[in-house]
C-alpha cells in the first residue's frame, strides 16, 4: 500500500510479508462482517411477521449448511494460523551471518554501538540489503524498540538480552519509537533509523571519531576488572578458560549442559553462581552493578572474539609448565 498515508512505508524485506497477512486478515474479517450484517438486515426484512397472528414455519436444521459454515471457516482460520506462524518464524529466526549491533535502552534514550566502535544515540545507521541483528538490553526498565517502516518491534528487557533482525531495502530516514510506556519521557524516547547504500554506510562508519571497538573495549575491561587473572591459563587460573567457548556447550556442575551464548555469558558475569562449569569452585564474585549494560556487551564481544586451540569448551587449560 505505497500511497495510503495510513500506513508507513515498506522499507524492509519483512514489511511486505507482515502487510500481506495483515491485509488478508482485514479483508476476511471485513467480508464476513459485511456478510453477517447484511444477512441480519435482509432476513429481518424478508422474514418479518406480517400479521399479528402469523405463526412461523418449524425448521429442523440443515446438515449441509452446518457443515459448510463449520468447514469453510476452519480452513480459513487454519490458513491464517499457518501463514502467521511462517511470518513469525521468519521474523524471529535471525539468518546466519547477520551483522550484529548492540542497543541499550535507558530512560530515555537509545544507545547504539557498532562492531567497529562507532557509537550513536537515538539514531541507528544500517546498510541496505544486509541482514542486521540487534542485540538489545536495558539499563533500567522495559522499553520496546519499534521501527514501523520495517514492521519490526521487540521488547528491551532489563536483566536479559533480546534480539531482533531486519533487512532494510530502501535508503532513507525512518521513525524509531519506544513502544513500551517507560516513564515521564517515554513519548520523547524516539529517534531515526537511517538506511544507507553499503558504500555510503562505509563512508559513514569511517567518518566517525575513532573509538574502541566493543572487542577492544571489552579486552580493556577484562584486564581492568581482573577477569584475566582467573580466566587465562597460568598459575592463578581458577575459572574456565574462555578461549573458543562461545557457541559451544559446557558441562555443568551437578549434571546437565549449557550452551554458551550471549545470555549465558551475561548471567555468568552478573550471577556467577547460577550455572557453574563442572570442575570449578563457586568462587567468582558477582559483577552486578560494577559494569554497565554497555560494558557487559563489550565484555561479551571480547569473549566471543577469543579463539583458542580446539578442545572441549570450558575445560581447564593445560596445566602450566613447571619451571
C-alpha cell at 168: 532494510
Q: Shortest gap between Cβ of 181 and ligand CUA (angstroms)?
A: 6
Q: Shortest gap between Cβ of 103 and ligand CUA (angstroms)?
A: 12
Would you say 105 or 148 has its CB closer to ligand CUA? 105
Q: Shortest gap between Cβ of 292 and ligand CUA (angstroms)?
A: 17
Q: What track of x and - describes contact with ligand CUA for positions 171 through 190 (by CB under 6 A)?
A: -------x-xxx---x--x-
Q: Shortest gap between Cβ of 108 and ligand CUA (angstroms)?
A: 6
| Contact set for ligand CUA, span 185-244 (CB under 6 A) | 186, 189
DSSP code per residue over 165-232: EE-B-S-EEEEEEE-S--STTGGG--EEEEEE-HHHHHHHHHHSPP---HHHHHHHHHHHTTHHHHHS
The residue count for binding ligand CUA (CB under 6 A) is 9
Q: Are 94 and 161 in contact (CB under 8 A)?
A: no
Residue 77 backbone phi and psi in degrees, to 5: -65, -40
Euclidean distance between CA atoms 189 and 122, whole angstroms: 8
Q: Is residue 143 a contact point for ligand CUA (CB under 6 A)?
A: yes
Q: Shortest gap between Cβ of 288 and ligand CUA (angstroms)?
A: 22
Would you say 143 or 231 has its CB closer to ligand CUA? 143
Q: Are 131 and 94 in contact (CB under 8 A)?
A: yes
Euclidean distance between CA atoms 323 and 318, whole angstroms: 15
Q: Is residue 15 a contact point for ligand CUA (CB under 6 A)?
A: no
Residue 48 backbone phi and psi in degrees, to 5: -65, 155
End-to-end CA distance of the chain: 74
Q: Is residue 136 a contact point for ligand CUA (CB under 6 A)?
A: no
Q: Shortest gap between Cβ of 6 and ligand CUA (angstroms)?
A: 23
156 membership: H or E segment, kind and range: strand 152-156
Residues of this chain that bind ligand CUA (CB under 6 A): 105, 108, 143, 178, 180-182, 186, 189
Amino acid at each position: 500500500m505505497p500511497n495510503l498515508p495510513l500506513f508507513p512505508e515498506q522499507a524492509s524485506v519483512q514489511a511486505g510479508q507482515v502487510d500481506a497477512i495483515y491485509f488478508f486478515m482485514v479483508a476476511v474479517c471485513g467480508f464476513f462482517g459485511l456478510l453477517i450484517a447484511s444477512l441480519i438486515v435482509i432476513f429481518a426484512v424478508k422474514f418479518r411477521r406480517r400479521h399479528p397472528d402469523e405463526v412461523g414455519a418449524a425448521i429442523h436444521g440443515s446438515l449441509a449448511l452446518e457443515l459448510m459454515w463449520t468447514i469453510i471457516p476452519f480452513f480459513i482460520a487454519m490458513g491464517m494460523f499457518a501463514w502467521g506462524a511462517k511470518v513469525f518464524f521468519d521474523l524471529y529466526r535471525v539468518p546466519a551471518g547477520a551483522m550484529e549491533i548492540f542497543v541499550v535502552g535507558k530512560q530515555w534514550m537509545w544507545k547504539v554501538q557498532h562492531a567497529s566502535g562507532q557509537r550513536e544515540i537515538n539514531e541507528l545507521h544500517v546498510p541496505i540489503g544486509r541482514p542486521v541483528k540487534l542485540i538489545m538490553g536495558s539499563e533500567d526498565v522495559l522499553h520496546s524498540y519499534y521501527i514501523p517502516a520495517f514492521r519490526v518491534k521487540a521488547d528491551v528487557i532489563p536483566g536479559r538480552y533480546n534480539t531482533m533482525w531486519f533487512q532494510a531495502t530502501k535508503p532513507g530516514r525512518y521513525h524509531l519509537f519506544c513502544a513500551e510506556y517507560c516513564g515521564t519521557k517515554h513519548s520523547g524516547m524516539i529517534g531515526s533509523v537511517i538506511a544507507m547504500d553499503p558504500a555510503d554506510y562505509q563512508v559513514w562508519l569511517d567518518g566517525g571519531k575513532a573509538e574502541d571497538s566493543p572487542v577492544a573495549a571489552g579486552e580493556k575491561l577484562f584486564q581492568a576488572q581482573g577477569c584475566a587473572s582467573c580466566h587465562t591459563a597460568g598459575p592463578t587460573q581458577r575459572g574456565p578458560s574462555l578461549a573458543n567457548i562461545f557457541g559451544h556447550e559446557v558441562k555443568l556442575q551437578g549434571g546437565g549442559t549449557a550452551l554458551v551464548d550471549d545470555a549465558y555469558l551475561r548471567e555468568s558475569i552478573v550471577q556467577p553462581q547460577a550455572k557453574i562449569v563442572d570442575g570449578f569452585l563457586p568462587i567468582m564474585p558477582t559483577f552486578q552493578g560494577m559494569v554497565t549494560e554497555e560494558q557487559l556487551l563489550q565484555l561479551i564481544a571480547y569473549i566471543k572474539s577469543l579463539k583458542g586451540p580446539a578442545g572441549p569448551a570450558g575445560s581447564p587449560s593445560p596445566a602450566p609448565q613447571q619451571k
